[in-house]
């Protein structure tokens, strides 16, 4: 695993692609170290927002040295990022966390399941996985994002909570509505969605890997601010905990208690 580095990245472009959702393209040498499911910590410049904000990697272009970050404005830090324009710079730390085990999908039927801001990290994953894959995306309403990008790499199914596009409900309703089958699931999204996926995968005896969303402070495992309950004792804290920013964010579903 590449050593973490804090670097200054140059903003190539930024645009808003949905309500409170921004698409940021950065020029940085960290692109060569990125693996699907990993993230970077982005530092605000404002004095009142000292801690970096974790943002998942949506795409990495190694040849051009570019990272694509798609994020939701949720507070002062991300609101500051949303004002960045081409030519601006941002300090970022990366790459952080582990990623999805792409090799586990080889030759198998795969579900990539994302909900809300858990959708962006699935794009680089979709690109990395060869062969058959179905991409199940959940949104609140018709204000969709990244579904067209995803369609280049697999069969996309959409669910919306209000029924305005696709299946009414969530990603689990997509499975039922279309009688879909898989051997492996890789997912990222809000905790209720991940709990439902874990319950379904255990019942159907499907291998599943889930990326946990959590507020993080340091991003490097020092503060213990983003721990989750695990079935095994953590070598760092010697209790049934794991640090999402380092041991995660991706876990095999049997490793975590959610």
Predicted pLDDT at 142: 97
CATH architecture of 5-96: Beta Barrel (2.40)
Average pLDDT over residues 78-86: 96
Predicted pLDDT at 132: 83
Predicted pLDDT at 254: 81
CATH architecture of 102-213: 3-Layer(aba) Sandwich (3.40)
Query: Where residue 108 falls among pLDDT bands split at 50, 70, 90?
Result: very high
Predicted pLDDT at 88: 98
Predicted pLDDT at 131: 85
**Max Cα separation, the chain?**
52
Q: Residue 257 in contact with residue 197, Cβ under 8 Å?
A: no
Report the share of the chain in percent with pLDDT over 90: 75
Average pLDDT over residues 71-99: 95
Average pLDDT, whole number, for the chain?
A: 89
Average pLDDT over residues 92-113: 95
* Domain residue extents for the chain: 5-96, 102-213
Q: Residue 69 in contact with residue 58, Cβ under 8 Å?
A: yes
* Beta strand spans in the chain (E): 5-18, 21-27, 39-43, 53-56, 59-61, 66-72, 89-96, 110-115, 133-139, 155-160, 167-168, 184-189, 207-212, 227-229, 241-243, 250-252
Predicted pLDDT at 244: 56
pLDDT tens digit string along 173-209?
999 999 999 999 999 999 999 999 999 999 999 999 9
Pair of tokens at residue 160 = 């919306």
Predicted pLDDT at 38: 95
Residue 48 has pLDDT above 80, yes or no: no
Predicted pLDDT at 163: 97
Average pLDDT over residues 55-79: 96
Residue 219 has pLDDT above 70, yes or no: no
Average pLDDT over residues 13-20: 98
pLDDT tens digit string along 19-31?
999 999 999 999 9
């Amino acid at each position: 695993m590449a050593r973490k580095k804090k670097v200054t990245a140059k903003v190539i472009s930024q645009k808003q692609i949905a309500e409170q959702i921004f698409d940021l393209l950065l020029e940085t040498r960290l692109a060569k170290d990125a693996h699907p499911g990993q993230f970077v910590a982005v530092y605000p410049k404002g004095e009142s927002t000292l801690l970096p904000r974790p943002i998942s990697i949506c795409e990495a272009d190694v040849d051009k040295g570019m990272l694509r970050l798609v994020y939701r404005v949720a507070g002062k830090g991300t609101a500051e990022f949303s004002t960045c324009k081409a030519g601006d710079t941002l300090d970022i730390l990366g790459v952080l966390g582990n990623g999805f085990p792409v090799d586990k999908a080889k030759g198998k039927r795969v579900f990539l399941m994302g909900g809300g801001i858990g959708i962006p990290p699935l794009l680089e994953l979709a690109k990395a996985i060869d062969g058959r894959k179905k991409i199940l995306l959940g949104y609140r309403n018709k204000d969709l994002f990244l579904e067209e990008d995803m369609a280049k790499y697999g069969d996309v199914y959409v669910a919306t909570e209000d029924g305005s596009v696709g299946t009414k409900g969530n990603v689990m309703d997509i499975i039922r509505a279309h009688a879909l089958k898989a051997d492996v699931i890789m997912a990222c999204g809000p905790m209720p969605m991940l709990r439902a996926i874990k319950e379904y995968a255990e019942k159907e005896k499907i291998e599943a890997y889930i990326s946990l969303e959590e507020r993080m402070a340091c991003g490097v495992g020092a503060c213990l601010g983003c721990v989750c309950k695990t079935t095994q004792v953590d070598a760092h804290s010697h209790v049934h905990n794991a640090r999402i920013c380092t041991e995660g964010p991706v876990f095999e579903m049997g490793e975590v208690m959610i």
